[in-house]
Amino acid sequence: MTEQPRSALIFGGAGFIGSNLAYDLLTKTEARVHIFDNLTRAGVHHNLEWLRQTAGASSRLQITLEDVRNSNPVEKAVAQATEIYHLAAQVAVTSSVTNPRHDFEVNLAGTFNVLDAVRKCGHKPFLLFTSTNKVYGNLGLTGLCATETRLTDSNYSGTSEEQPLDFHSPYGCSKGGADQYVRDFARIYKLPAVVFRMSCIAGPRQFGTEDQGWVAHFIYSALQRQPIVVFGDGRQVRDVLCIHDLIRAFESVRRNISVTAGQIYNVGGGMANTVSLLELIDRIEALTGHRLEYMLDECRPGDQPIYVTNYAKLHAHTGWQPEIDVSQTIMLLQTFWEANRELVAQHPLVAIEAFDLAGEIGGRAA
């Protein structure tokens, strides 16, 4: 049987993850690519131009400037898609605290619009939804110990999908509610849908700010000799996954949809790619030769002391595992900055809302 020509619809396709996915599809497959984005995130119009240049005169790239909160254009876009990647979101915990209604409308109502359009379209396209590790709250770790540079817990070996949901912010609520909607629509309407609960993703074309995209924010700030604020004591630990490994994970679940349909997967760099904020600062200096200056402030609402992905389920179902380590990811970000330093410099490295919130919860430390 001849395989149906691929037509990939990417909600939020001009963003960091979406533009990397679109580039991969345009350069490695014959798929038609449809970008659906409202272009509100700083810098994403540059990604769109990059994708236009990549597509050239091929007519394989379609662009719709719209918002997932508007159901009619969502339904129109879904009608012709064979695969859908729902990446459009309000992505910052701090922004969700200052404006929870906007967070709800984009993340939960927007996701419902996508799901309802998929339900009604009739041809059941593959759907991948990107959720977040924030749906697990603070994990309830009780054995935390502090070394000079990081927090540890000898009883913690990473977070699997068996971890109970525990929403600790409006962002956690909206993304968690959305990923449960995806899971239930997959079950009740027999849709081939998959949820990724992602840890820290980093890599080229990420315009990181204080509010979101912390790895890129740290690296660009160091390279531009700009000091930053570290919220908390800097010993918080995360696992970092390079964007290129994430795109491979997308393809791994699509190829194995007979197994992955209806499933939720935790996706991240795992134990081998953990780093604390303080350790990342040291790594940046070692790899780039530039010391990142910083000052400390109070911990932000919803911040997890430690989060590390257990991706064993995804590996068992698809064979996927990370291939690019933290140091290589830092080097990829440095290379992107060196090739696009004027472009990066056009966009603020500090999120104004984050500064306002810091003032609301106690002000900056001296």
Helices marked H in 93-209 = 93-98, 100-104, 110-121, 170-188
Mean residue pLDDT of the chain comes to 90
Average pLDDT, integer, range 55-71? 95
Kindly report, residue by residue over 119-178, the tens digit of the pLDDT. 999 899 999 999 999 999 888 888 899 999 999 998 999 999 999 999 888 998 999 999
Residues 240/246/249/254 CA torsion (nearest 10 deg)? 150
pTM of the model: 0.91
Kindly report, residue by residue over 198-240, the tens digit of the pLDDT. 999 999 999 877 777 899 999 999 999 999 999 999 999 999 9
Domain coordinates in residue numbering, the chain? 7-360
- The per-type count for the chain, helices as H runs and strands as E runs, is 15, 15
Q: Which of 136, 156, 171, 311 is catalytic?
A: 171
Confidence of residue 3 (pLDDT cuts 50, 70, 90): low
Q: Is the confidence at residue 62, as pLDDT, over 70?
A: yes
Percent share of the chain, pLDDT over 90: 77
Lowest mean pLDDT among 161-165, 191-195, 300-304, 339-343: 300-304
Kindly report, residue by residue over 300-309, the tens digit of the pLDDT. 877 889 999 9
Q: What is the reported pLDDT for 196?
A: 98
Average pLDDT, integer, range 265-269? 98
- Measuring CA to CA, how many Å separate 143 from each of 152, 153, 167, 332, 363? 8, 5, 21, 35, 30
Q: What is the reported pLDDT for 91?
A: 82
Which residues share a beta bridge with 323?
none
> In the CATH scheme, what is the code of domain 7-360?
3.40.50.720
Q: What is the reported pLDDT for 178?
A: 97
* DSSP secondary structure code for residue 136 in this structure: G
Answer yes or no: are the C-beta atoms of 210 and 228 closer than 8 Å. yes
Of residues 321 and 298, more confidently modeled: 321
Q: What is the reported pLDDT for 364?
A: 28
- Measuring CA to CA, how many Å separate 224 from each of 52, 291, 320, 341, 355? 29, 10, 35, 9, 20
Q: What is the reported pLDDT for 278?
A: 96
Phi, psi for residue 6 in degrees, rounded to 5: -75, 135
Q: What is the reported pLDDT for 362?
A: 29
Kindly report, residue by residue over 276-288, the tens digit of the pLDDT. 999 999 999 998 8
Q: What is the reported pLDDT for 353?
A: 36
Q: Is the confidence at residue 47, as pLDDT, over 70?
A: yes
Q: Is the confidence at residue 351, as pLDDT, over 50?
A: no
Residue 171 is among the residues annotated as catalytic for this protein: yes
Q: Is the confidence at residue 350, as pLDDT, over 80?
A: no
